[in-house]
Amino acid sequence: MQTGRLHGRSPVHQRPGVIWAAPAFVYFLVFAVVPLVLVVGLSFTHWNGLGMPRWAGAANWSRLAEDPTLGSSIRLSLILTAVAWLVQTPISLLLGVWAAGPGRGRAALSAVFFVPLLMSNAAVALLWQSLLDPNFGLAELIGPLLGAPDGNVLGDPGRALAAMALVVSWQFIPFHMLLYQAATRQIPRSLYEAAAIDGAGRARRFWSITLPQLRHTIVSSSVLIVVGSLTYFETILLITGAGPGTATRVLPLHMYITGFQAFEMGYASALAVLLVAAGTALSIGIVRMTGYSRMDSSREGM
């Protein structure tokens, strides 16, 4: 009788009530919406961090068009984001699918892969700064293999940005691998058993079953990679300090240096709002282009 009533309910009535989302809404309001409103307000002021902000009108916003560093910072952020996505997505996907399989060896290696995820940004920066030091790090050994005969990877503008993309990918691949591992384990075994009966090999099962079933996770992981890469700067600051020159001065690092080294909080706030708008636009673009909002459950009807 109870089962009959459940089957008669509409999908909307089977969803949790709004009260379940209340803690998340409160957290988002306090730690995201309120600070964002304050930053938008600061973007219309002159403030060095001391005393009271002075009204500046649209001066900080008109300065964006005259900032000679802003264009290169946006370009570097887009390059870092694109490289991070191209490197992290296939490696995380393959490692996650592999780690989802049974076996103690896989579980042990998966635990090792997660070590970078447990390290703080400062620890990651110190580790890679030591490894890439041309005097006593591994750069002296592997530098010639990467086109740097002297091992000075961080001293070359192109190699420094590539090294930062490598560090970002190394640090966050375990997190996205964990997403794919969990999603792969949710794929019904009956799909693989039916494919095996039809004679599908391992590669065919991956392309026809695993990959389509992981499309929701691929979109979610891509949004996290894009937004995370656009806001990532702590490790870059500690390893290169935005150098050599401005070769690794990505947009969030440009915002940080403007605000906390030049003490131009008003203009740094305008850069922060620009960064939020760019990240939001890219996230919405990915969701709309992939049709993520129209996707139904991959297990619907099973």
The string of pLDDT tens digits covering residues 210-229 is 999 998 899 899 989 988 88
- Using pLDDT thresholds of 50, 70 and 90, give the confidence band for residue 4: very low
Closest Cα to residue 88, out of 163, 214, 177, 178? Answer: 177
Rounded Cα distance between 282 and 216, Å, is 17
Return the pLDDT at 2: 45
Closest C-alpha to 228, from 180, 157, 168, 158 = 168
- For the chain, what is the mean pLDDT? 86
Is residue 239 within 8 Å of 129, Cβ to Cβ? yes
**CB 150, CB 136: distance < 8 Å:** no
pLDDT above 90: percentage of residues in the chain: 47
Tens of pLDDT along 175-194?
999 999 999 999 998 999 89
Query: For residues 86-123, b (16+ Cβ closer than 10 Å) or e, as one string?
Result: ebbbeebbebbbebbeeeeeeeeebeebeebeeeebee
